[in-house]
Amino acid sequence: MFRRTTLALLLLCVLPVARAQDSEAAVPSAPGVPLRKLPTDVILINGALPSASDHSTPLPEGGAVRKDVYNNDYFGLSYALPSGWFEKYKGPPPSDSGAYVLTLLRPGANYKGASRGTLLITAQDMFFTPLPAQTAKETIEQTKATLQAEYKVEHAPSQVTVANHAFMRFDYTSPVAGLHWYVLATEVRCHTVRFVFTSQDPELLETLIKDLDSMKLADADAPLCVADYAEAPNITYKIDPVLTEQKFNAIPVRIIIDKSGKVRHVHVISAFPAQAKAITDALMTWRFKPYLRDAQPVEVETGILFGAAKRAKPTSTLAKPSS
Amino acid sequence: MTRRVIPLTLSLSLLFVLQAFAQVDPGVRGGGAAAGAPLSSVAANNPVTILNFFNDAKARFTEIDSVSGTVAGEGGFGLGPRYNSRSCVACHAQPAVGGSAPAVNPQVGDATADGATNPVPSFITSSGPVREARFPFFFDQFNNPDPNRPNGGVEDLYTITGRVDAPAACNSTVLPRPSFTLAVNTGNIIFRIPTPTFGTGLMENIDDSTLLTNFNNQQNNNVGVGGTFNHNGNDGTISRFGWKAQNKSLEIFAGEAYNVEMGVSNELFTQERPLPGEDMINGLASVCRVNPTPEDHTNFNTTSIATLSDTVQFAMFMRFLAAPTPSTTVPGGATSIANGRSLFTSVGCAVCHTASLTTSPSRFTPSLGSATASLFSDIEIHHMGTGLNDNVSQGGAGGDQFRTAPLWGLGQRIFFLHDGRTKDLLVAIEEHESSGSEAITVESNFDLLSSSQKQDVLNFLRSL
């Protein structure tokens, strides 16, 4: 997307503004300068977008399908696509409440199977979720608790192990549509990462879930994620960003603080360009008390919300499950 | 010959059989307009005199404007100097006064009405939708679109030049028209069609807290939908009217349309409007600023209803229009419609197209207060991807972000999507899917349905 936009901008050179006017008959083109059409499949005027302080640190939205494998370095995720499946379209940019569409996979023209389905992989940044749920377990239980009348539970939420990770699994169906949704959710770097399998064929879904076991999912090298670490007692120096562009939008930001307390990386999840620059420039000057684990300083990742009133911390309305 | 005929006959038979099972848009629902009536409490004249206000407002909504109010049969005043059409109802007509683009486009006739000398742009046709045009970017000195100069403002189709009531000095030299040909040839043009206004008083009266609660409730969806709101730049509250939810209230919506679409200055938009770019150079030529401003204003020393400006009354008319009445049986029968409704929710359409929201108590009239608005919209703006992107930013909405279109009244609409690109509801659904769209998962779920299930969804939508 960015490459295409850049290319389009380069092709259409920067020149002074002018109004083209005619009487509809003439098509005024300057002598020797051919008319250039705008590209039709490029979003040149964007709303709020993600950005980062560097290009090397992996980002949640940075995953991609290459050679039939979906890789996401941020989540340490590597998933081999089912044979004949592909990513037809990219998902939207992350939302201002920290929701990501990582990929949507579906059978392509070369798919040999008898039945069809889809796999949606999403992530929700739990620092910014508006849900009354703080864990994958609570999120899935809330899905069940708020299931609409069109759906029926097939298998209640339960803990399973997939690819050596603890997942919550929840299956439900829509009898009228004949569709089944098998949902698996786990926690990575304070995100709920969700795999949503959909099909009219439960056997296909079971096969896909079985194959999911060969997925790689490892966040061992990732910074420790700590909620609300960027608060007064932990900050030793800060300059507040001045947001001159008032759009009344929430601006969720993740930062990585190194062992010495310096900000190593800023990821603005959703902001307009001027907002993102002001926030990034300011945050890179902030200093923190090093975070200690077992009396040793460690790198941490935390979240800060700009541009909007901080939401009250969501509290689960679910009954505590009996143990 | 016989050998060829048999396979051909078989092929045609197979084609017909396949067509018989393929889902099709049932088309515009017949049986008379299921919209256009006032809210029940307005019809009951509660509070007293409100029905008189509604009827007066409707008359103003249907009035044709001339430049100076001197053309027989055209009761309105203030048209131009540039315009897209000459009355509110010209654009808001289907299936009744207040609706969307009609089957026959009045803009063809508007080009030359009362002696005007405008050519009709290539994208305006008799059987096409009413359209306003915008150029996403200004042109450079070589007449190529310049992506570093975002424009996005409305480029009015017509001028008053040549009209019997326009000054001769206001000619095409001092009042030029934009080059629509150039814009089309360079792909630097996008279109918007009129949004229907039925039930908009209910939408106006949904509290922000209700919208936020609905937003929160939908965030745990399994279809990859995010969403956010557009906000009014002055007070920061959620705005809700227009294709990108860029307008806060019906009065702002009416005032802007009166100024932009018909060229009538008013108390909210007080000057005659130059074209985008013209406003940064010389503004409008004085010979074309025909009337004192604002042309539409509060009328003193007159009767109570006539005191109100057109803009206020346009807003009243829209506000007091009842929501469209859905059919429970047409098209396809009650069972198909009920199935379609369940399927619509099942595949995830209802995550954005929220079936209903409750309004706040109203001081206008009882029907607006604490009512269920079955609008099928969350009033959020969502990324709709490269396919629907129009590269126009409005408020917090970027080029590909659009308000979830309310679906009430969909059954009797002719043209779909923001630019009226299709009359086929199935195509409109498919257009939800492109790179960057929040609807790709929902659309792929829809694709997993059988043809008869898809037909049920189409029947349900056409029942609205």
The band of A12, judged by pLDDT with boundaries at 50, 70 and 90, is: very low
CA torsion B375-B203-A131-A144 (nearest 10°) is -20
Question: Could you say which of A35, A104, A130 has the minimum Cβ distance to residue B143?
Answer: A35
- Give, for A254, the enclosing helix (H) or strand (E): strand A251-257
**One-letter-per-residue 3-state SS of B402-440:** EECCCCCCHHHCCCECCCCCECCHHHHHHCCCCCCECCH
Give yes or no: residues B231 and B345 share one domain.
yes
User: pLDDT at position B7, please?
Assistant: 55
- % of chain A beyond a pLDDT of 90: 80
Q: Cα distance from B371 to chain A (closest Cα, Å)? A: 22
Q: Which of A8-22, A179-193, B151-165, B237-251 has the lowest mean pLDDT?
A: A8-22
- Return the residue matching tokens 């609660």: B213
Question: Could you say which of A89, A130, A248 has the minimum Cβ distance to residue B435?
Answer: A89
Chain A interface disruption, residue of B118, B140, B211, most A CBs within 10 A: B140
CA-CA distance, B209 to B116, in Å (whole number)? 49
User: pLDDT at position B170, please?
Assistant: 97
**170-199 of A, contacting B, C-beta below 8 A:** 174, 176-179, 181, 183, 194, 196, 198-199
Residues of B within 8 A of A43 (CB-CB) are 386, 389, 391, 398-400, 436
Domain-embedded: residue B30: yes
Residues of A within 8 A of B215 (CB-CB) are 130
Domain-embedded: residue B42: no
A with B: how many residue pairs have Cβ under 8 Å apart? 267
CA-CA distance, A206 to A227, in Å (whole number)? 35
| Contact between B345 and A181 using a beta-carbon 8 Å cutoff | no
At residue B13, does pLDDT exceed 90? no
Q: What is the mean pLDDT of residues B15-35?
A: 81
- Return the residue matching tokens 């078989």: B10
Chain B interface disruption, residue of A11, A19, A29, A120, most B CBs within 10 A: A19
| Contact between B399 and A47 using a beta-carbon 8 Å cutoff | yes
Q: Which domain holds residue B401?
A: 22-37+196-244+321-463
| Contact between B448 and A43 using a beta-carbon 8 Å cutoff | no
At residue A1, does pLDDT exceed 60? no
| Contact between B148 and A1 using a beta-carbon 8 Å cutoff | no
Interchain contact A114–B (C-beta under 8 A):
no
pLDDT in tens, A116-154: 999 999 999 999 999 999 999 999 999 999 999 999 999
Q: What is the mean pLDDT of residues B184-208?
A: 98
Give yes or no: residues B330 and B200 share one domain.
yes
CA-CA distance, A153 to A143, in Å (whole number)? 11
SS3 content of chain B, % helix, strand, coil (to 5): 35, 10, 55
Residues A208 and A117 sit within 8 Å (Cβ to Cβ): yes
CA-CA distance, B55 to B37, in Å (whole number)? 11
Q: What is the mean pLDDT of residues A228-257?
A: 94
Q: What is the mean pLDDT of residues B155-172?
A: 97
Cβ-Cβ contacts under 8 Å for B313 (sequence gap 6 or more) = B53, B56, B57, B60, B61
Q: What is the mean pLDDT of residues A99-105?
A: 98
Helices (H) and strands (E) counted in chain A, each on its own, are 4, 20
Domain-embedded: residue B381: yes
User: pLDDT at position A28, please?
Assistant: 57
At residue B5, does pLDDT exceed 80? no
Give yes or no: residues B74 and B213 share one domain.
no
Residues of A within 8 A of B188 (CB-CB) are 38
CA–CA distance from A69 to each of A75, A83, A105, A165, B324 (Å)?
14, 10, 11, 19, 49
User: pLDDT at position A322, please?
Assistant: 37
Question: Could you say which of A44, A89, A131 has the minimum Cβ distance to residue B147?
Answer: A44
| Contact between B441 and A142 using a beta-carbon 8 Å cutoff | no
| Contact between B440 and A104 using a beta-carbon 8 Å cutoff | yes
Nearest CA in chain A to B119: A24
Q: What is the mean pLDDT of residues A178-196?
A: 98
Q: Which of A39-43, A234-238, A290-294, B5-9 has the lowest mean pLDDT?
A: B5-9
pLDDT in tens, B342-369: 999 999 999 999 999 999 999 999 999 9
Question: Could you say which of B222, B280, B396 has the minimum Cβ distance to residue A248?
Answer: B396
Neighbours of B341 (CB within 10 A): 22
User: pLDDT at position B302, please?
Assistant: 86
Question: Could you say which of B181, B281, B342 has the minimum Cβ distance to residue A24?
Answer: B181
User: pLDDT at position A8, please?
Assistant: 47
pLDDT in tens, A197-206: 999 999 999 9
Nearest CA in chain A to B235: A248
Q: Domain spans of chain A?
A: 49-217, 224-306
At residue A246, does pLDDT exceed 90? no
- % of chain B beyond a pLDDT of 70: 95
ipTM of the complex: 0.93
Give yes or no: residues B121 and B178 share one domain.
yes
User: pLDDT at position A321, please?
Assistant: 37
Give yes or no: residues B127 and B237 share one domain.
no
The band of A313, judged by pLDDT with boundaries at 50, 70 and 90, is: low
Give yes or no: residues B292 and B386 share one domain.
no
**Largest pairwise CA distance in chain B:** 87
| Contact between B444 and A150 using a beta-carbon 8 Å cutoff | no
At residue B105, does pLDDT exceed 70? yes
User: pLDDT at position A6, please?
Assistant: 47
State the DSSP string of B214-265: HHHHHTT-SS----B--B-TTT-PBP-BSTTS-BSSHHHHHHHHHHHTS---
Spatial strand order in the sheet of A64-66: A64-66, A69-72, A77-80, A216-217
Give yes or no: residues B136 and B283 share one domain.
yes
CA-CA distance, B306 to B326, in Å (whole number)? 35
| Contact between B438 and A101 using a beta-carbon 8 Å cutoff | yes
Q: Cα distance from B310 to chain A (closest Cα, Å)? A: 31
At residue B19, does pLDDT exceed 70? no
Domain-embedded: residue B341: yes
The band of A9, judged by pLDDT with boundaries at 50, 70 and 90, is: very low
Domain-embedded: residue B220: yes
- Give, for B42, the enclosing helix (H) or strand (E): helix B40-43
At residue B110, does pLDDT exceed 60? yes
pLDDT in tens, B41-68: 999 999 999 999 999 999 999 999 999 9
CA-CA distance, A140 to A157, in Å (whole number)? 7
| Contact between A41 and B386 using a beta-carbon 8 Å cutoff | yes
Residues B172 and B159 sit within 8 Å (Cβ to Cβ): yes
Q: Cα distance from B181 to chain A (closest Cα, Å)? A: 6
Cβ-Cβ contacts under 8 Å for A177 (sequence gap 6 or more) = A150, A200, B342, B343, B346, B347, B445, B448, B449, B453
User: pLDDT at position A30, please?
Assistant: 66
| Contact between A131 and B216 using a beta-carbon 8 Å cutoff | yes
Give yes or no: residues B160 and B277 share one domain.
yes
Give yes or no: residues B344 and B374 share one domain.
yes
CA-CA distance, B122 to B153, in Å (whole number)? 20
If you average pLDDT over every residue of chain B, what do you get?
A: 95
Give yes or no: residues B216 and B271 share one domain.
no
Domain-embedded: residue B351: yes
Number of domains in chain B: 2
CA-CA distance, A66 to B308, in Å (whole number)? 64
Neighbours of B62 (CB within 10 A): 18
CA torsion B313-B318-B321-B323 (nearest 10°) is -170
CA-CA distance, B154 to B463, in Å (whole number)? 33
Domain-embedded: residue B179: yes
Residues of A within 8 A of B146 (CB-CB) are 12, 14-15, 17
At residue B4, does pLDDT exceed 80? no
Q: What is the mean pLDDT of residues B417-432?
A: 98
CA-CA distance, B106 to B125, in Å (whole number)? 9
CA-CA distance, A177 to A181, in Å (whole number)? 11
Tell me the CATH number of domain A49-217, given options 2.115.10.20, 3.30.565.10, 3.40.50.2300, 3.40.1000.10.
Answer: 3.40.1000.10
Residues of B within 8 A of A99 (CB-CB) are 219, 224, 226
User: pLDDT at position A259, please?
Assistant: 98
Give yes or no: residues B329 and B290 share one domain.
no
At residue B12, does pLDDT exceed 70? no
Cβ-Cβ contacts under 8 Å for A266 (sequence gap 6 or more) = A52, A53, A253, A254, A255, A279, A280, A283, A284
Chain A interface disruption, residue of B441, B450, B457, B460, most A CBs within 10 A: B441
The band of A34, judged by pLDDT with boundaries at 50, 70 and 90, is: confident
Residues A223 and A301 sit within 8 Å (Cβ to Cβ): yes
Chain B interface disruption, residue of A29, A86, A89, most B CBs within 10 A: A89
Give yes or no: residues B207 and B95 share one domain.
no
| Contact between A174 and B444 using a beta-carbon 8 Å cutoff | no
User: pLDDT at position A27, please?
Assistant: 55
Q: Which of A74-78, A307-311, B203-207, B378-382 has the lowest mean pLDDT?
A: A307-311
CA torsion B139-B144-B145-B147 (nearest 10°) is -110
Interchain contact A27–B (C-beta under 8 A):
yes
Q: What is the mean pLDDT of residues B434-449?
A: 98
Q: Cα distance from B274 to chain A (closest Cα, Å)? A: 12
